[in-house]
Amino acid sequence: MHKTVSLNHYFKMNFKNFILPIFVATSLVSCEKAVKDDALTQSPSPLKKSSLEFPYEVYEPQVSNEAQAFYEGALNLFNADSAGNYTAINKSIWIMEGSMNSFFGDSAYLNEDSIIIHESTFVFERNQDGLLNGDIVTNFTGAYQQIKALLNNNDDYTFNITDIQVTDLGSNEVSLVFRTHLLLNASSASTFAWPNVPPATVGRYAGASAECGSISGDGAWEHVQWQARQTLPSLFFPINYNFRSPRFNVVYLNSSAGSMNTRQINGDWLLGGVNALFSNHQGVTTDTTCVIPSEQDAYSQKLSDDLYDIVSKRTYWDGVSSLRVHDHGSSANLTFWTFDAILSKTIYSGFNFNSLTPCDLGIDC
């Protein structure tokens, strides 16, 4: 049963009132207890974190060929003969995320004017074994058709990624939100090899979209985002993921202390935070503070390093699918920064990414 459909406001990076829309976008985040991750403040550990920290959004099949397990699992789940069977919640999400992200391609690591977030919530029958396969097929098909229509009707939209989260967990029903990120006016971006971010060359304002002493150009937070993004494709696989690939175990993380019910990660070292890297940036900072190139480099490098650290501790992620740095301005011309990220895993070896089509699952034949 389809419960609600909403299309959130554009999330423009240079909006001074950006703090309001981000709370809207995260209002339906998983009801699981928020997790404060310690990986951002400690040196990398050889021990991998357990997937139990995300009991519904992460699935790791205990098989030698995960790609084959995904392909066969999708075909079996969508087979009409299995409509009355039930599939574990985490495996169901794993298959639905992988299928949706495979069907619509992969545009990670592009630049964009803004990110549009489309949300749709569906209700699934459940028992002790998991979700009813028939509901999975019906609801997934509905979500697929919505995304397809949005892309067909808006030439300036580019698909980025779909994240599926549990929003309500009852004894007989489960509500899942399909949250899809669409890029507005996406453009390709050059990538640099990790670990070094490309250096900044000019000073930029902390809370205004302009270079210091100018009325044009990017603000410092926008450039820090761009710098950190350049290293992300090289965290583990030095390639640009611009091809159709199944992305699984998609998890959204946010450093904003005001974003309740999200998984909060440490970002108090950013400009305006109590532990900002530079003493003149600690506490809320004026919009016209000039962030010099070396300071931009330091913020973007730490952001890249921290994301590498958190991903490297987990076998169920291998990269970052989305990264945004936000400027939260105010009428008093003060600002502070936060960031959010979407982490995911892509299966590479021994799998033809284009072999699974919607028609294979009985959709759009």
pLDDT digits (tens, 9 = 90+) for 67-93: 888 999 999 999 999 999 999 999 999
Residue 224 forms part of a structural domain: yes
pLDDT of residue 64: 82
Query: Structural domain tally of the chain?
Result: 2
pLDDT at 108: 57
Decide if pLDDT at 270 tops 50. yes
> Residue 36, CB half-sphere, CA atoms under 13 Å: how many?
7
Q: Are 336 and 273 in contact (CB under 8 A)?
A: yes
Q: Compute how many other C-beta atoms are within 10 angstroms of the C-beta atom of residue 204.
A: 26
18 pLDDT more than 90:
no
Structure confidence at residue 240 as a pLDDT band (50, 70, 90): very low
What is the percent of the chain where pLDDT is above 90?
49
Q: Judge if 208 and 342 occupy the same domain.
A: yes
| Pairwise pLDDT comparison (54 vs 45), residue with the higher score | 54
Tell me whether residue 21 is in a domain.
Answer: no
pLDDT at 160: 87
Q: Is 162 within the bounds of a domain?
A: yes
CB atoms within 10 A of CB 9: 15
- Is residue 97 included in any domain, yes or no? yes
Q: In whole angstroms, give the CA distance from residue 18 to residue 340.
A: 13
Q: Is residue 351 part of a domain?
A: no
CB 250 within 8 A of CB 319: no
**Would the pLDDT of 8 be above 80?**
no
114: tokens are 């803004």
Average pLDDT, the chain: 80
Tell me, what's the pLDDT at 258? Answer: 52
DSSP state of 187: B
Residues 85 and 231 in one domain: no
Do 83 and 165 reside in the same domain of the chain? yes
Please check whether residues 177 and 223 belong to one and the same domain: no
What pLDDT is recorded for position 193?
66
C-beta contacts of 199-204 below 8 A and 24+ residues apart? 199/293, 199/297, 200/227, 200/293, 200/294, 200/296, 200/297, 200/300, 201/293, 202/293, 203/290, 203/291, 203/292, 203/293, 204/290, 204/291, 204/296
What's the whole-number mean pLDDT along residues 351-365?
Answer: 79
Looking at the predicted structure, is the pLDDT value of residue 107 above 70?
no
In a domain, residue 332? The reply is yes
Angle at which helices 133-153 and 89-103 pack, to 10 degrees? 30
Give the domain extent around 335: 204-346
Identify any residues that bridge with 164 across adjacent strands, giving them in sequence order: 178
Residue 41 lies in a domain: no
Greatest mean pLDDT range, 145-149, 191-195, 240-244: 145-149
Q: How confident is the model at residue 42 (pLDDT cuts 50, 70, 90)?
A: very low
Query: pLDDT-based confidence at 241, cuts 50/70/90?
Result: very low
Residue 234 and residue 138 share a domain: no
Same domain, 276 and 146: no
**pLDDT in the model for residue 190:** 65
Q: Look at residues 187, 217, 247 and tell me which one is the last residue of a structural domain.
A: 187
Both 217 and 90 in a single domain? no
Confidence of residue 39 (pLDDT cuts 50, 70, 90): very low
Together in a domain, 237 and 124: no
Which of 10-19, 141-150, 266-275 ranks highest by mean pLDDT?
A: 141-150
Instruction: Label the pairing between strands 247-254 and 263-264.
Output: parallel
Amino acid 67: pLDDT:
83
Q: Is residue 361 part of a domain?
A: no
Residue 27 banded pLDDT, cuts 50, 70, 90: very low
Residue where a domain terminates, one of 152, 187, 222: 187
Q: Are residues 115 and 90 in the same domain?
A: yes
pLDDT score for 17: 32
Asked if pLDDT for residue 141 goes beyond 60, the answer is yes
Q: Are residues 164 and 242 in the same domain?
A: no
- 238 and 97 in a common domain: no
Task: Quote the pLDDT of residue 140.
Answer: 98
Q: Are residues 262 and 338 in the same domain?
A: yes
